[in-house]
Amino acid sequence: MCIRDSYRLTQEDIIESGLLYDIEDSAVIAIEWPERAGEALQGWTLKVTIEFYDEPVNSTRVIAENKRKITLESSDVRWVEVIEAIWRHTQQHA
C-alpha cells in the first residue's frame, strides 16, 4: 500500500518525479488530490470519493450526523465489473 499526496505538485511534477510509475503491479496506491495528476493517471484507476454530510432523519428535524456518501468511478472495464458487483451486493442487503 502506497499513499501519494499530490496537493503541492503540478501534473508536470508528478510525471517527472515518477510517483505513479515506480510501483509494483500488485500495489494499491491511494492518491490524495488526484485531480492534480490530471492526464498522468492511467485508465486503470478507481476513483473513490467520500462526502460527509448531515441529514434530517424525520419531520421533527432530528439530524443524523456523520453520514457518508461513497462514490466509485472508473473507465476501466475491470473496475466497472467490481463496482457493479458491489452495487448488486448493497442492493441485496439494503
User: Containing domain of residue 36, as a range?
Assistant: 1-42
Q: How much is the pLDDT for 16?
A: 85
Rounded average pLDDT over 32-55:
80
Structure-model confidence comparison of residues 5 and 62, the more confident one:
5
Q: Which is higher by pLDDT, 9 or 44?
A: 9
Q: What pLDDT is recorded for position 58?
A: 64
The pTM of this model reads 0.63
**For residues 19 and 6, is the Cβ–Cβ distance under 8 A?**
yes
Check if the beta carbon of residue 42 is closer than 8 Å to that of residue 25.
no
Average pLDDT over residues 30-36: 83
CB 50 within 8 A of CB 68: yes
Residues 63 and 86 in one domain: yes
Q: What is the pLDDT at residue 56?
A: 66
Closest CA to 69 of 57, 89, 47, 51: 51
Do 31 and 76 belong together in one domain? no
Nine cell digits for residue 19:
510517483
- Residues 24, 9 within the same domain: yes
The answer to whether residues 47 and 76 touch, using CB atoms and an 8 Å cutoff, is no
